[in-house]
Structure 1
Amino acid sequence: MGGTQPTFADAVSLQVARRHRAALLREIQMFEHAIASPSAEPGWRERMSNRLRALRGAFAEHIVVTEGEDGLYAELLEHAPRLHRRVQVLTREHAVIAVSMSALQRRADLPGARIEELRGCGGEILRALSRHRQRGADLVYDAYETDIGGET
């Protein structure tokens, strides 16, 4: 038949990943705002903890969207199996980042935790997320010459 084959840019997994990527970015930005706000403000620790909890939820969704049986990585590897090792790296990063967020959540929920420590750990998580998101965008681009980003 004379029709064209759908491109990866039209793939459902990429569309879902783009939506979740934007939602994850919003949660990252709200968490960053929470840890950067003045700690003398009443409720700082509770707001930071709540934003972290929301970020953890968004990141858990990101893991499902990317690692799931019909997720982005499965579809990507079907198209570009040469990128298997890079997908493994991203998958390992998921586990490391999730553990870091859980550890920070436990600390944040302790009344005696020092704010400087919470901010420092939060900053490390933000840097890890930034690197992870860039590697993920680079992976998709290398596989399909498609930009998954678009948000600023």
Structure 2
Amino acid sequence: MTAARQYSVPSDDSLPLHDLGASQAELEKAVKAVHTGLAGQGARRGRIWALGVLDSVGSLTGAFERHAAMSESALENLLEIAPQLGHVAVQLEDEHEKIIITLEECLCRLRREPSAPETEWVNELRVQLIEALHALANHREREECFVYDTFESETGGGD
């Protein structure tokens, strides 16, 4: 088993919601930039396409690392309200790690010379990045459900 990744987390334990909102806005902007880059004519422009996508994936990686740091701090606070959801928090933290690793792998591949014919290389990278974006979207949905379930638990809501 590998050691857990350490993120730089703000020192204030009570992270304001507006900071999480700003983090989410930064993340959404970075995701849109990656989508735009993926829509480019990569197969015809190979390395030029890769350099453009490299910048947007780098921004997304940084934004997601900041998101992970902030949300993991918030998860700890939310677990005080609903400790029975600890297994979900662990899953969310694992997803942070997996998504960051995938994005970092994409960054490495974008920086290197193609290991296959350019068209094939571009298509493989597109698939990997699209899968990372899907994982990120699914992760965001699970985080929102976790927050909802936490507050529902606190208020005694539900059926």
Q: TM-score range by the shorter chain?
A: 0.7 to 0.9
Q: In structure 1, what is the equivalent of residue 64 of structure 2?
A: 59
Q: Whole-Å Cα distance in 2 between the matches of residues 14 and 74 of structure 1?
A: 14
Q: Does 1:21 align with 2:44?
A: no
Q: Is the 8 A contact 1:63 1:94 kept in 2?
A: yes
Counterparts of 1:23-38 in structure 2, within 5 Å, are: 23-38=26-41
Determine which of 76, 87, 91 is the counterpart of 1:85.
87
> CA–CA distance in 2 between the matches of 1:82 and 1:121?
34
Q: Return the match for 1:110 from 84, 108, 112.
A: 112
TM-score normalised over the length of structure 1: 0.81
Q: Is the 8 A contact 1:34 1:51 kept in 2?
A: yes
Instruction: Write the letter of the residue equivalent to 1:116.
Output: N
Measured on the aligned residues, the alpha-carbon RMSD in Å equals 1.6
Q: Is the 8 A contact 1:14 1:72 kept in 2?
A: no
Say which SS state the counterpart of residue 37 (structure 2) adopts. Answer: helix
How many angstroms apart in 1 are the aligned matches of 2:50 and 2:24? 26
Q: Residue 13 of structure 1: CA displacement? A: 3.8
Q: 1:127 to 1:116 in 2, by over 3 A?
A: same
1:119 matched residue in structure 2: 126
Runs of 4+ in 1 over 3 A off after TM superposition: none
* CA distance in 1 between partners of 2:88 and 2:17 (Å): 17
- Among residues 143, 152, 156, which one is paired with 1:136 in the alignment? 143
Aligned residues: 132
Unaligned regions of 5+ residues in structure 1, if any? 1-10, 146-152
Query: 1:99 corresponds to which residue?
Result: 101
Per-residue deviation, 1:14:
2.9
